[in-house]
Structure 1
Amino acid sequence: MTVVIGADRSGAGKTTVTLALLAYLAQYGSVQAFKVGPDYIDPMFHAAMTARPCRNLDPVLTSATYVQQCFARHCWGARWALVEGVMGLFDGVPIADVPDFASTAHVARLLELPVLLVLDCQRLSGSIAAIVSGFCSFDPRVRVAGVVLNRVGSDRHLELLSMALEPLQVPILGVLRRDDRIAIPDRHLGLVPTDELAHLAELRDCLSDLAATRFDWEQLLPLLAAPQRSHAATTASVRFPARVGIARDRAFNFYYPDNLDLLAALGAELVEWSPLSADTLPDVQGLYLGGGFPEVFAAELAANRSLRDCLRAAIVSNMPVYAECGGLMFLCRQLVDFSGRVWEMVGALPATATMGARLTLGYRQAIALRDSPLFRCGEVAWGHEFHRSTLGPAPDRPLFRTQGLAASTLIMEGWQTAQLHASYIHLHWGTRSELPARFLERCQHWGE
């Protein structure tokens, strides 16, 4: 069956509970993790706990059907599975006749899974009953299988919480006390990624030890069994053999595993390389520069002049290049960090990326204004933006016209020059396999 980890709001402890459960289960068998929404960083922690790629379940970026198929496909063969939700349980966006589209509750309904509700109890006692009662009754289609009480202060505090919940007959499946040992540092875009944490192994062991004694495993284990539902295998009717360089290191690590799987299924050989440490580009026919934190490692990127020169030369030679967000920033002429320091970047785009306090966040409908290695002019896709930088000057011939779900403001953004596609928009290719196929076809022709 398995469960979806939900909460009444953001910051209640979903990620801590999820990681503790994953770390403990992974000691005894294979466990597949999923994350609701477009997030990259939480899935990195899931993968670090399970040694398996975490899969994003996002019906805005893909579709409701794809969410169901992805879940069934990747649960297959795993002993346990777990889905971490996003924000509060019913926090979504109104689309069509679904008022909470893409919320944790929406995905729980799509997958027909119960919810394990995490509650931050540090400022609660008897009122917890009203909260749990409301979540249990708000949508009869969403079943609350139990609760996890997080940040419980004392035995007396737990006694008060338990007494309040007893009449509801909702089982308490976990109790976590306040514990600074399991705190994960964060910064301007959320948690610090796993590649930058020196104490990751220690954190995993601590979470596993915590889970061993803080959860009711007799009730939880049957709930967490991975469903073995029938699913269609993913096959590609046309293949485009090409070597594609994947920029992956501490500065660039925002990739949806499904995107990389699609490239491989279409015939690509994926070659990982590091813009931080490589002196030159690998022997490839195309490049995929994902998002990440070039602003944090700007000094190291600027110091690697030989690599920057090679990358600029590859773009001048019309090698197909696909760059998202952090990759886009790296291709700019300069990057101005949060301290106002200016760093030289690749220089393939006549723009400067400047870090700022304002967070640009949300789903975007992107309409292609011209052909690129992935898009045909006029095609539409849904993507996601998540950054604290701005680019200037604006492109003379923008790649996309974008619009948010609720906003009427149209934004022109993105760069397209010859075989280069560079944009702030993160794309999930799950339902758009023609996009990576076009990219690989360009790579194959360039190599020939």
Structure 2
Amino acid sequence: MTSVARCPALLIAAPASGQGKTTVTAALARLHTRQGRRVRVFKCGPDFLDPFWHTMASGAPVHQLDLWMTGEADCRARLHAAAQEADLVLVEGVMGLYDGQPSAADLARRFGLPVLAVIDASAMAGTFGALAHGLQHYQDGLRWAGVLANRVGSERHSGMLQQGLREPGHWLGALWRNPALVLPERHLGLVAATELEDALQRLDAAADALADTPLGRMTPREWQERWSVDFPEPAAAPPAVPATPCLQGRTVAVARDAAFCFVYAANLDCLQALGARLVFFSPLAGQALPDCDAVWLPGGYPELHAARLAANHGLRDSLRAHVAADRPVWAECGGMMALFERLTDGQGVTHALWGLLPGSVTLHKRLAALGPQGLRIGADELRGHTFHYSTCDTPLPARWRTHPPGAAAGVVGEGEAVYLHGSIAASYFHAWFPSAPALVARIFGGRGGLSVLGAQSGALAA
């Protein structure tokens, strides 16, 4: 018999990016965590930066929910597990409520999540009600929780906004215009909470502001009565970890610091489920490569720390020795950038980097690529996304290319190149490991990693 976990839940959405939904989600998590409740937060769509804030606010790991990248079965399993242990489940949407395929609205409909709309009301009055009405009714089937006005100028302004709503019961309050409640940003999104000494104080200030709204004053019983959701145990299982722990006895070294911080918590869980022992090291701290069988260099901000990375000759040399021994390296986006010979940063300064890949990387002012991507190798498809402001110039041929969702099998992709150079596999592609655990085991297992698959397969794979 299928088990059902029941728990109050909200999906926090907005008309567009930049409206304040990350702040509101983190403030809700912090407010309820301070009151002794167990809160689990999820992020809709691929995102590395917002989860830093939600993890700090809730004190619990934050995972992604995406009907394509992570898959419906994975989403159901994670929501069901969270609802079994939590007092409150929060899901932050992505971009605007209806943006993307699939969108945050699609996720809300699929799982019956009530939608809370956060609207930046700083330059509107009566139109606030029209926007709220449109968000609720643009598509059928949404369970609506209400609306929260953000960046409101005064009590009079708040009253005008509230009067503009067709359904007064949907008013959940206003947050005042306050620079202290704005989370700092840079070119790839929010600054990670771990980089700011006052991050927790910022969250507490946001939680305090939210506590003074109708939403913040609601009791746990009111949450239960208004927004409880039944999360059934999934009937279909997500992609299975091989029965034999393929990475048993192998150690995977993971770069982790401010330069290499784009790591999905679920990816670490997947490696451990495959049997790997994880060790972490910091290139920015000058650490050499620890004793290991494979290396993962995740994405991050090497362009902000290029001088310090270039000076870490010990790590460069130990990586060279690792590759010379034919041990695998998986390098994603920023991890790949650090492996090239040169990197030109946003100020036009060129740095000599680790030189394990031939070529150079240049950072640009405008976005170079953005969107969901999949990597097919044989029968496996590893799903993920791309998001970067730099481009690379290399003589290396693309051994594989990623593809957008919906691309037919066997068609050569036009997405990100995946380069093979010795035992290094490198790409701008960020992978969601649980989407293809068997392929992940081949990336990090055995000698040569993906280079073995590259030698075995003839034509380029889409």
The TM-score normalised by the length of structure 2 is 0.86
The DSSP-based 3-state class of the residue aligned with 1:87 is: coil
Deviation string, structure 1 residues 121-163 (Cα, Å, up to 9, x no partner)? 1122112222222222222211211111111111111111111
**2:390 matched residue in structure 1:** 389
The 3 A distance-change label for structure 1 pair 400 and 228 is same
Q: Does 1:80 align with 2:91?
A: no
What is the CA distance between 1:188 and its match in structure 2? 1.1
In 2, the alpha carbon distance for the partners of 1:383 and 1:79 equals 30
In 2, the alpha carbon distance for the partners of 1:127 and 1:207 equals 26
RMSD of Structure 2 on Structure 1 (CA): 2.6
**1:350 matched residue in structure 2:** 358
Give the count of matched residue pairs. 429
Letter in 1 for 2:170: P
Q: Percent identity?
A: 36
The 3 A distance-change label for structure 1 pair 187 and 286 is same
**Does structure 2 conserve the Cα–Cα contact (< 8 Å) formed by 1:145 and 1:170?**
no
Q: Does 1:432 align with 2:450?
A: no
In 2, the alpha carbon distance for the partners of 1:303 and 1:225 equals 54
Letter in 2 for 1:230: E
Spell out the pairing of 1:361-372 with structure 2 (5 A cutoff). Answer: 361-366=369-374
**2:344 matched residue in structure 1:** 336
**Does structure 1 conserve the Cα–Cα contact (< 8 Å) formed by 2:252 and 2:278?**
yes
**1:71 matched residue in structure 2:** 79
**2:305 matched residue in structure 1:** 297
What is the CA distance between 1:393 and its match in structure 2? 2.3
Spell out the pairing of 1:280-319 with structure 2 (5 A cutoff). Answer: 280-319=288-327
**Does structure 2 conserve the Cα–Cα contact (< 8 Å) formed by 1:360 and 1:385?**
no
Deviation string, structure 1 residues 18-54 (Cα, Å, up to 9, x no partner)? 1110111111122110000101101111111112111
In 1, the alpha carbon distance for the partners of 2:406 and 2:448 equals 40
Residue from 220, 223, 230 that aligns with 1:221: 223
Q: Does 1:19 align with 2:18?
A: no
**Does structure 2 conserve the Cα–Cα contact (< 8 Å) formed by 1:81 and 1:226?**
no
The 3 A distance-change label for structure 1 pair 367 and 202 is closer
Spell out the pairing of 1:111-150 with structure 2 (5 A cutoff). Answer: 111-150=111-150
What is the CA distance between 1:112 and its match in structure 2? 1.2
The 3 A distance-change label for structure 1 pair 402 and 229 is closer
Query: After alignment, is 224-233 or 17-26 more displaced?
Result: 224-233
What is the CA distance between 1:244 and its match in structure 2? 0.8
In 2, the alpha carbon distance for the partners of 1:55 and 1:226 equals 19
**2:244 matched residue in structure 1:** 238
What is the CA distance between 1:84 and its match in structure 2? 0.3
In 1, the alpha carbon distance for the partners of 2:211 and 2:447 equals 49
Spell out the pairing of 1:167-182 with structure 2 (5 A cutoff). Answer: 167-182=166-181
**Does structure 1 conserve the Cα–Cα contact (< 8 Å) formed by 2:362 and 2:390?**
yes
What is the CA distance between 1:109 and its match in structure 2? 1.1
**1:55 matched residue in structure 2:** 63
**1:371 matched residue in structure 2:** none
In 1, the alpha carbon distance for the partners of 2:241 and 2:434 equals 13
What is the CA distance between 1:66 and its match in structure 2? 2.2
**1:264 matched residue in structure 2:** 272
The 3 A distance-change label for structure 1 pair 443 and 273 is farther
What is the CA distance between 1:331 and its match in structure 2? 1.0
What is the CA distance between 1:225 and its match in structure 2? 6.1
In 2, the alpha carbon distance for the partners of 1:411 and 1:310 equals 31
The 3 A distance-change label for structure 1 pair 316 and 56 is same
The DSSP-based 3-state class of the residue aligned with 2:69 is: coil
**Does structure 1 conserve the Cα–Cα contact (< 8 Å) formed by 2:299 and 2:334?**
yes
**Does structure 2 conserve the Cα–Cα contact (< 8 Å) formed by 1:285 and 1:444?**
no
In 2, the alpha carbon distance for the partners of 1:367 and 1:352 equals 24
Where does structure 1 lack aligned partners over 5 or more consecutive residues? 94-100, 369-374
The TM-score normalised by the length of structure 1 is 0.89
The DSSP-based 3-state class of the residue aligned with 2:70 is: coil
The DSSP-based 3-state class of the residue aligned with 1:421 is: strand
Residue from 42, 45, 51 that aligns with 1:43: 51
Q: Does 1:210 align with 2:209?
A: yes
What is the CA distance between 1:221 and its match in structure 2? 3.3
Where does structure 2 lack aligned partners over 5 or more consecutive residues? 1-7, 451-462
Deviation string, structure 1 residues 239-271 (Cα, Å, up to 9, x no partner)? 121111111001101011111111111111111
In 2, the alpha carbon distance for the partners of 1:406 and 1:122 equals 39
